[in-house]
A and B are shown apart, each in its own frame.
Chain A
Amino acid sequence: MERIQVLVCAGTGCSIGNSSELVKKFEEEIRSFGLENEISVKKTGCLGLCGHGPNVSIYPDNIIYKTVHLDDVREIVQEHFYKGRPVKRLMIDEGDYNQEEIFDVNKTRFYAKQKRVALKDCGVIDPENIEEYIAKDGYVALGKVLTEMTSQEVIDEITKSGLRGRGGGGFLTGRKWQFAYNEKSDEKYVICNADEGDPGAFMDRSILEGNPHSVLEAMAIAGYAIGANHGYIYIRAEYPIAVERLKTAIKQAKEYGLLGKDIFGTGFDFDLEIRLGAGAFVCGEETALIQSIEGERGMPNPKPPFPAQSGVWGKPTIINNVETYANIAQIIKNGADWFRSIGTETSTGTKVFALGGKITNTGLVEVPMGTTLREVIYEIGGGCPDHKAFKAVQTGGPSGGCLTEEQLDTPIGFDELVKLGSMMGSGGMIVLDEDNCMVDVARFYMDFIVDESCGKCSPCRIGTKRLLELLNQICNGEGTLETLDELESLCYTIKETALCGLGQSAPNPVLSTLSQFRDEYIAHVVDKRCPAGVCKALLRYEIEPDMCRKCGLCARNCPVSAISGRIGKEIFHIDPEKCIKCGNCFHACHFNAIARK
């Protein structure tokens, strides 16, 4: 009889950490203790603590072991499974409170403030086994919709819940469905936008890897609501694990009769197809995505007509993001009022964020709307590592902006973040500390946009390239105060004239850093100095003669032999002509004798 279940995370992050080998090792060790009838090992989706992977979760104790190596497996099996002593050294350690003998992860700071709705069964079920999803009341919502509700009732319920698109724009999902429902057409289409493109964002990927059926079920519900019998999942080929799990999920759902003809004997047909994208950022834009599905080059078209009127193959189409779909079945099962009770008045429900950058707990978190940024960054995320000072948090990816320390008490919501010059976006949240140069950050995003601009309209194609050149000038110390004015005015021109959302929002990271961190820009152009010490052209390394102990460690670490001197005899000196400003000497010196100016 089974008494313990071991769930090994098989998401992308943990797979890189060799979690598939871990599964084999666990099975092997469990067999060697003769416990194979008592303990089973399964693969599951993301538990959120991606930075500490591979993660292994143990039921019924509800313990998570982090950073589990192959060598740790024997200890876990012997100590925990055989002798009943959980291995404390592998548990989540938040430092300053006593661990219970059996440690419940829901009480850790990382999980205590989270509320999992879209990620509900992610990390609990095996994503490759439809029966585990069904055991967790999967496909009940689809059954309820098909047998008890009319299309209009489904749309009303979603509208009433206040659910807004989780892909970035924040448009009311119910209203979108209503538009498509109102269109008269012999054929309509449902699309799932899984073309997650923001640098550092992996929310949708984790949902698809951890619980693909939640998206399939919601798409079928959407199909029923608007009167569509066919759906496409548009996903980038760069997400191989997610694509595989989706394929498996669709195959299983068809075998169980949950997709296909005459679902639940109600006469409703719904079929799904996967379309792979080549990973172009612009294809996350609705009209470009539709072009790409039709086999054309992914380039946006002017709106209107909106996809709800004329989408794929000219037919009415709804496009929703993965995370939006992941909420649908929960709303149908628990009711719109339940969903409204989470979050704030204008932003209901929860939001998944991919925490990254200079943060202790890199990973995936889901919090109710209205939680403050401070809670997410400091309480759940654990703050900046190595006692560095927090500088800013970037939300909304290349279309968003930066928020500063003073703005951290803002409750998270669509409108609240826009008011501060940033946006919710799809949920990337990148934390920056004192070592990040804000001009460099703006340059990074602009570099990304220049790469990803489709080239259809000139404001975006040429304008962003010019923006990047101006930012490069500033970083190289060639900028003046006029450069800043030019930068700003070009930003507004692009915003007003670009064809699609990508171009219109492309200058946001520049405008936002320019308004929040103008002093840093001014330091670059007036003092020719980079306060964070990132922009190499503005950096100088010098050895302070008074501090130098003549040990020669700096010279030994210099890759270009730019440092000269004699050990024990002569003070060392950096040749600025040869120096490539790598900073090796700065980190090597034990006596803080090297100054970065």
Chain B
Amino acid sequence: MKSLEDLKRIREEAKKKMTMRLDDEQKYRVVVGMATCGIAAGARPVLNELVEQVAKHDLPVTVTQTGCIGRCSLEPIVEVFDREGNKTTYVFMDAKKAKEVVERHLMRDEIIEEYTIGAAE
């Protein structure tokens, strides 16, 4: 490399490979229920879609998985925590809905009422 610009370019490129290890403050934490019930109901494509969309838009969001959340009949379940710890629970998720959650909730801070557990009940 011959200049600071080169360094910056390499840094931006390298950062993409280790987003989950950077110190940046995360805006949301998304947790996908991945117990047997979740996987059986199709949680894996939901998880993959979330991870892909978050990476694609380079969002300050952590996507992790968890075990059984306890409402197996409503799986796949996705929980979104904001920085204050407020939780939004989405139920009966699929890849299409997951993409919508990324675009509306994670990017525009808009809770999609009709997918939440409140609406389902």
Contact = CB atoms under 8 A, between A and B. Distances in A.
A258 B17 contact: no
A314 interface: no
Nearest to A143: B4
B34 to A, nearest CB: 3
User: Which has the most chain B C-beta neighbours within 10 Å: A2, A5, A84?
Assistant: A84
Interface string B45-59: 001100110010000
B119 to A, nearest CB: 24
B67 A38 contact: no
B7 A3 contact: no
Given A132-B14, A134-B11, A85 B1 contact: no
A257 B1 contact: yes
B65 to A, nearest CB: 3
Given A82-B34, A265-B3, A135 B39 contact: no
B51 A83 contact: no
A38 B13 CA distance: 19
A131 interface: yes
Contacts of A338: none
A61 interface: yes
Interface residues of B, number: 34
A147 B66 CA distance: 48
B4 A264 contact: yes
Nearest to A44: B21
Contact of A140 (B7, B18, B32): B7
Grouping DSSP codes into helix (H, G, I), strand (E, B) and loop, the A interface class, with mixed when no group exceeds half, is loop
A85 B13 CA distance: 32
Contacts of B64: 60-61, 84, 102
A595 B51 CA distance: 65
Interface residues of A, number: 33
A135 B34 contact: no
B11 A38 contact: no
A64 interface: no
B7 A143 contact: yes
Given A1-B48, A257-B2, A84 B20 contact: no
A135 B67 contact: no
B15 A135 contact: yes
A2 B17 CA distance: 9
Interface in A247-262: 256-258, 262
Given A83-B35, A102-B64, A136-B22, A265 B2 contact: yes
Contact of B18 (A5, A101, A139, A258): A5
Interface in B53-78: 55, 62-67
Nearest to B48: A1
B10 interface: yes
Contacts of A256: 1, 10
A84 B34 contact: yes
A274 B11 CA distance: 27
Interface in A382-415: none
Contacts of B3: 264-265
A85 B66 contact: yes
B5 to A, nearest CB: 10
Given A83-B35, A143-B4, A256-B1, A59 B48 contact: no
Contact of A124 (B13, B21, B51): B21
Interface of B: 1-4, 7, 10-11, 13-15, 17-18, 20-22, 31-36, 38-39, 47-48, 51-52, 55, 62-67
Interface of A: 1-5, 38, 59-61, 82-85, 101-102, 124-125, 131-132, 134-137, 139-140, 143, 147, 256-258, 262, 264-265
9 contacts: A60-B62, A60-B63, A84-B35, A84-B65, A101-B66, A132-B17, A143-B7, A256-B10, A258-B1
Given A60-B21, A256-B1, A258-B1, 13 more contacts: A1-B51, A3-B48, A3-B51, A59-B21, A83-B36, A84-B67, A102-B66, A132-B18, A134-B7, A135-B14, A143-B4, A264-B1, A265-B2
